[in-house]
Structure 1
Amino acid sequence: MMRFLFPVLALLITVQSLPARADERTIDHAVLAHKALQRLDQHMHMVGYRLTAANAKYCKKTVPNLGILLHDLKQYGDTATARHAHGFFSELAVNAIAPDSPAAKAGLVTGDGLIAINGQPVEDIEIDEEKLAKEQPEYRRIAAINAMLRKAAAEGSIKLSLLRGGLHQEIEMTAAQTCPGQFQIRVSKDRNASADGKIISISSALAEYVLSDDELAAIAAHELSHNLLKHRERLDSQDVNRGFFGQFGKSAGRIKATEIEADRLSVWLMANAGYDPQAAIRFWTRYGKEHGKGIFSASTHYRWKKRVGLFKEEIAKIAKIPNTVEQYAPPLLMVEGP
């Protein structure tokens, strides 16, 4: 289960408004905020890795993936509370490790402090401020570190120097090849998710609403499908208006076509990753009944009952495939294209 006792957004407001001399109860509340958000990050990271790794053979392009999610002490406004909540043996640390990933097999654990990559101290890694101008300042260092990790992983085996409980560790590993996809939890009170061609974002409120990792996978797989099918590129080439006027005419029809494709592909991605495709039906039925307005009233999306019908159609196709088949070739990824 993934529901938490306290909403992440409300807890983070507490963290950001801590007085200079907070009492012990307030500090404990702030630590809970960090740990609640970390749990969401960990679930999202695990789900994202499973989806991209399990479907790699069907992706036209693959990328090296270590299965590591890092965080930077500087990204937190209250660094003292962040250090108390997460340890931070160094300013850059492991926030999550995906099970069965190269990092997990090599023995990395959550909380390991990262001090060097292939012998180069992370504190010496240059940050290209111009290249990372779109990133918030507090996230630029970790963006530079992640870029360096991807580059090093693509070139072969990679050696990480770590600090664990005050002791130095040297761990070497080779990246796995997965579908491209970066997954993140975005702190927001709105229940929504998006894909921009590279990054899949799910709001904390939506992630808190799900009842299981299978349901989280249903959302993540839908957004990943948008990226794998290059929907953003297609809509851009068709001059589709994504603003107010995108709710009308050809733009609305073209957006709806991508939503239908993403729904159809999503359950195949889930099945290959070992998630229950029926979770997509359970989640969207519950969400549709409780929040039937919103996206379901827009001309760019099917109403929830029709959407559930799409899932049932695709799940029926999967069910007809012999049990001897270990993976299911998603029809939409088998279509030849650019």
Structure 2
Amino acid sequence: MTLSRLLLPTLLSAAAAGPALAEETIETPGRAPVPLEIFQQSETRLFQVGYRLATANAPFCERAIQVSGLLIHDADSYGNPAAVRALFHLNGDIGAQAVAPQSPAALAGILQNDTILAIDGKAIADQWPKTDPRWKRSFALRDAIDEALVRGPVEISWQSAGMPAQSATIAGVPACPTRFELIDSKDSAAADGERVLVGEKFPGLAYEEADFAAAIAHEMAHNILRHPQTFDKTGWKRKRVRLSERDADRLMPWLLQNAGYDPRAAVHFMRTWGPRHGGWIFRSRDHDGWDERVEFIEAELPKIEAVLDADGKADWKTHFTQLLPAHPTD
């Protein structure tokens, strides 16, 4: 689960506006959010949905990582760090960009826009100085937290605006090994084997949560089934791509079920998305038509219902049939 962000050139330019952005930090009733706040809202939605899907399905992934439910960002990676710190009321550069509900970080009391001060007693300012390029520090901090969670609980110190600093020891929870990252100026969603990458202009961000979760589950399914790694070895042949998309579509409702979403949200998403974006991948020769994809998804629903355990979980590792072989030879 990601604890960092990709570089955001468009938003960095907005942050670099200096006085104009600083003026937006004034708390005025009813003021419209500035671009960085809108981006934070979208990234929070993606992070929280991704956390829910990844942790709920961890028992069925071949391997799991330890996550805290905390997403950080670095004010110094923006064009005008002082304005960003003021906008988010940070008392330092490293802030909590998002916190997943009921996660270890949330249960410890960390809130969005709290300032992260130290990790395992090591002060951010002393142990992780500013870097060139600027984005490297947040990646180093993400890796430090991830590595600490593998070893065991990690102590995090933070400060809420206007409050004394506090610390808590946080133990990780298992999650499927996928990070979730929002990127600027894009309107698509994709998987690269390790991450689900969603553009800030992706239309699904405006959908109801369960439908949005279906879109994220589709991309996460590509990572779980290791489709990008398969194509790196075999090449992107049309037949294989089509089968991989069918598999990702069919695994969608299983992932949703385990995360507490209605698995039929996968059908609703496809019926909403497909007709409106029919000129995109849903009518490509590499993909089935959206109406055919609905049929493939619907065919999985009774299979899920038949294998639900007492906790409402569906073991897709045992009962899901993958169409694209993990090591195709044709």
**CA shift in 2, pair 1:23/1:68, >3 Å:** closer
Q: How far apart are residue 187 of structure 1 and its match?
A: 1.6
Q: How far apart are residue 277 of structure 1 and its match?
A: 2.0
CA contact (8 A) 1:40 1:207 kept: no
> In structure 2, which of residues 49, 61, 64 is the aligned counterpart of residue 62 of structure 1?
64
Matched with 2:179 is: 182
Matched with 2:5 is: none
After superposition, what is the alpha-carbon deviation per residue over 1:8-66, rounded to whole angstroms, capped at 9, x for unaligned?
A: x9x95982573756795798888521211111111111101110111111011010100
Distance 1:146 1:333 in 2: 35
Where do residues 155-234 of structure 1 align in structure 2 (5 Å cutoff)? 155-166=151-162, 167-188=164-185, 190-206=186-202, 209-234=205-230
Q: RMSD of aligned C-alpha atoms?
A: 3.0
After superposition, what is the alpha-carbon deviation per residue over 1:141-187, rounded to whole angstroms, capped at 9, x for unaligned?
A: 10000000001111111111212224111111111111111001112
**CA shift in 2, pair 1:26/1:163, >3 Å:** closer
Aligned residues: 312
TM-score by length of 2: 0.85
Matched with 1:132 is: none
**CA shift in 2, pair 1:214/1:283, >3 Å:** same
Q: How far apart are residue 331 of structure 1 and its match?
A: 5.0
Distance 1:23 1:155 in 2: 41
CA contact (8 A) 1:40 1:204 kept: yes
Distance 2:77 2:319 in 1: 37
Are 1:36 and 2:38 matched, yes or no? yes
> In structure 1, which of residues 309, 312, 315 is the aligned counterpart of residue 301 of structure 2?
315
Structure in which a larger fraction of residues adopt helix: 1
Distance 1:81 1:225 in 2: 39
> In structure 1, the residue corresponding to 2:267 is in which secondary structure?
helix
Distance 2:226 2:213 in 1: 19
> In structure 1, which of residues 246, 257, 260 is the aligned counterpart of residue 246 of structure 2?
260
| More divergent stretch after superposition (11-20 vs 35-44) | 11-20
Matched with 2:140 is: 144
Gaps of 5+ in 2: 1-7
Distance 1:147 1:126 in 2: 12
TM-score by length of 1: 0.83
Distance 1:185 1:207 in 2: 13
Distance 2:203 2:83 in 1: 24
Distance 1:297 1:52 in 2: 29
Where do residues 87-102 of structure 1 align in structure 2 (5 Å cutoff)? 87-102=89-104
Letter aligned with residue 142 of structure 1: S
CA contact (8 A) 2:251 2:320 kept: no
Aligned sequence identity (%): 30
> In structure 2, which of residues 30, 36, 55 is the aligned counterpart of residue 53 of structure 1?
55
**CA shift in 2, pair 1:74/1:306, >3 Å:** same
